[in-house]
Amino acid sequence: MLNDVLVFTDLDGTLLDHHTYSFAPALPMLHKLNSINIPVIPNTSKTFAELIELRQQIGIEGPFIVENGAAIYIPILYFKTQPKDTTSRNGYWVKEFTKPREHWLSLIDELKGLYSGEFKHFSNMSNTEIMTATGLSAKQARLAATREYGEPILWLGSASIKNKFVQTIIDLGVTPLQGGRFLHLSGECDKGKALIWLTKQFKKERDVKQCTSIALGDGQNDVAMLEAADIAVRILSPTNAPPILTRQTGVFTSQAYGPSGWTECLEKIIFSHQQFN
């Protein structure tokens, strides 16, 4: 039996098609969930600036989690009372899990001498360089570069020096996260911790003992949220194997890619009450 369902979803490769970024195959399901008041909560490596645009295009209005669990944005008055440990900014209550970007940038600056020419990072790359590295349009690249909490590094040198670099930054208190193309430098935050915190706020708000969290993701950076949720959905990717999970129960794996797989699994779990193992 599912109570007070919350849907936490990765974007790239999950709700958005890996190649085209289209969410069209998920639209009927998004409408269906909206009609029965099940919130769809983006939980993504993308930035606040990117999410403001995307949420409008997708047509979702509630809370969202940015930069791999670095912060949660909750529209002011979405809940009856402001959750503890949040600040108010630009119309949102903001819960932060890590230090601001400037902290990570100053650490990078200190290491530049030691690793001269070995890497580039977002704040010293031109928009054209970011476009080339990501495949984003000029506007999308600008929004992606408007980061608040972490810094993506593009490694240019050898793998062995990169390993040394990774060890150095871990010693400095950085939690590195390897994405498809970039090494993300940030604090000890992840999509799972953010999911747990926000689920708690929903339970308080609704005065219920249990909310059923469903998490959907296609990549390695989704593992923490897939492990933390009541039900984990691994969305099949055309480019990488499904993320490897420790948990053995409550796991679905889609048959279709991206937004089609997203719809397929939520239909089964929420509307057909299909058993899972």
Give me the residue whose beta carbon is nearest to Mg ion: 13
Task: Tell which one of 17, 151, 190, 218 touches Mg ion (CB under 5 A).
Answer: 218
Closer residue to Mg ion, CB minimum distance, 10 or 227: 10
Q: Say which of 4, 10, 85, 222 is annotated catalytic.
A: 10
Question: Residue length, the chain?
Answer: 277
Cβ-in-10-Å burial (0-12, 13-18, 19+) of 1 comes to exposed
For the chain, the 3-state helix, strand and coil shares in percent, each to the nearest 5, are: 40, 20, 40
CA atoms within 13 A on the CB side of 168: 13
Shortest gap between Cβ of 230 and Mg ion (angstroms)? 20
Min dist CB 44 to Mg ion, Å, is: 8
Q: What's the closest the beta carbon of residue 82 comes to Mg ion, in angstroms?
A: 31
d(Cα 236, Cα 187) in Å, to the nearest integer? 28
∠ CA(221), CA(222), CA(224), 5° rounding?
Answer: 95
User: SS3 for 74?
Assistant: strand
CA distances from 206 to 5, 86, 198, 222 (A): 12, 19, 12, 27
Catalytic: 10?
yes
Q: Give the sign of the dihedral formed by CA 145, CA 182, CA 40, CA 101.
A: negative
Number of residues that bind Mg ion (CB under 5 A): 5
Question: Which of 6, 7, 13, 254 is close enough to bind Mg ion by CB under 5 A?
Answer: 13
Q: Is 10 in the site for Mg ion (CB under 5 A)?
A: yes
From 50-58, 60-68, 213-221, 246-254, give the range in contact with Mg ion by CB under 5 A: 213-221
Q: Pairing mode, if any, of strands 212-217 and 183-186? A: unpaired
Residue placing its CB nearer to Mg ion in the complex, 30 or 211? 30
Q: Shortest approach of Mg ion to residue 194 CB, angstroms?
A: 15
Which range of residues in 8-16, 60-68, 169-177, 264-272 is near Mg ion by CB under 5 A?
Answer: 8-16
Alpha-carbon Rg for the chain, nearest whole angstrom, is: 19
Residue with tokens 């009927």: 28
Per rule CB under 5 A, is residue 12 in the interface with Mg ion?
A: yes
DSSP 8-state class, residue 43: B
Residue 219 found at the interface with Mg ion (CB under 5 A): yes
Q: How far is the CB of 71 from Mg ion (least distance, A)?
A: 18
259 sits near Mg ion (criterion: CB under 5 A): no
* Interacting residues with Mg ion (CB under 5 A): 10, 12-13, 218-219
Catalytic site positions? 10
